[in-house]
Structure 1
């Protein structure tokens, strides 16, 4: 049995990940693939409890505490959801993974990049997504989208300067991993973003087919 693949969607709050996640699930199902859709932080019973803690505006915590909780949730996520699904041949699509920790806790909160690298190596070893799609939007646009649909959580309530730093962190990860990470302009009309995502997925699908021959 062929192992499954792991695809992640990344972006600041309001980038449109949830909208495109649903389309991506339908796309993969149309290819005859069994898909597991999940999210970070979360995805498991422990992870969802940690998510509630991390997003609750009533709580304040040290930036490194936040980073450690994110990676603790990720360890459970890998053990309970991601790795078992891939090993049985399913494809996993996740709303965020470790790139988000470098963007949010690293550049956003100021946790030393080197400490996050150590946590990433400890928790994931040499495991990375097969494909990461980073949906890039200006901070103001992301904020407008979030405010139009729901009350802001602990992260969404952060300042524009915070999200500018987060966006910088994501762009740095794209620079570091150009083969794995694809960037889309999320400020374009929905049909144009969707067309660009379809192009990325068709290219990825074709490459996987060629490798399996």
Structure 2
């Protein structure tokens, strides 16, 4: 009998530690005999790499609605070609960012309707929601300090002003409050090992 697939997404502001936590979760789940598929948005497919270059690194102005549509296009292709096939095989998909990122960044950050941005992504993905969304919550100022210590180049979103990232954080917290069963909200300033244990505990519940 094929084990049921599991769709786990990691969300949070820049510098919140998504990469570290997803890597540790992968190691743990692999040790339990699960097959892991890594995905990310934007840029998790060949088509997505081209979209990512536009939305993250294109010089010059990109209209907010055009940006939201580009992210939705990337998302539709990623779900259709990577995520759904993996879930149907019974794999665990661990993904860096999903539709909640668009609601936070392209919706609240760009001052568009968060409801409309969310509905756009739900249409693009045939309304697929994760089994678990880990939100690593961090003060945007602290996130900027972490980025400054490790980056020499910033993408279009990372380079936005503090008030943009504050709107993003507030939107994330509002999303989590609206769907408490799907979200696991963690204080990303806590020690890495403590955060990972909290994530493993929730995943264990889902797998039991």
* Alignment TM-score > 0.5, same fold: yes
TM-score, length-normalised on structure 2? 0.94
Residue 175 (structure 1) aligned with residue 177 (structure 2): yes
Distance in 1 (CA, whole Å) between partners of 2:118 and 2:17 is 27
Taking the aligned partners of 1:207 and 1:68, their CA distance within structure 2 comes to 32
The Cα of 1:202 is off from its aligned counterpart by 2.3
Q: Does 1:127 align with 2:119?
A: no
Does the residue aligned with 2:134 lie in a helix, a strand or coil?
A: strand
In structure 2, what is the equivalent of residue 65 of structure 1? 66
| Unaligned ranges ≥5, structure 2 | none
Question: Map of 1:1-213 to 2, 5 A cutoff?
Answer: 1-150=2-151, 151-190=153-192, 194-209=193-208
Could you tell me how far apart the structure 2 residues matched to 1:137 and 1:198 are? Answer: 18
Q: Matched residues in 2 for 1:207 and 1:74: separation? A: 24
In the TM superposition, what is the alpha-carbon distance from 1:57 to its structure 2 partner? Answer: 5.0
Q: What is the rounded CA distance, in whole Å, between the counterparts of 1:121 and 1:63 in structure 2?
A: 18
Aligned residues: 206
1:148 Cα deviation (Å)? 1.3
Counterparts of 2:71 and 2:148 in 1: how far apart (Å)?
Answer: 24
TM-score (norm 1): 0.92
- Moved segments of 4+, more than 3 Å: none
1:93, distance to aligned residue in structure 2 (A): 0.2
Residue 165 of structure 1 aligns to a residue in which SS? helix
Runs of 5+ in structure 1 lacking a partner?
none
Using the TM superposition, give the Cα deviation of residue 28 of structure 1 relative to its aligned residue in structure 2, in angstroms.
1.0
Structure 1 position 38, deviation (Å)? 1.6
Deviation at 1:121? Answer: 2.8
Task: Name the Cα RMSD after superposition.
Answer: 1.3
Give 3-state SS (helix, strand or coil) of 2:115's partner: helix
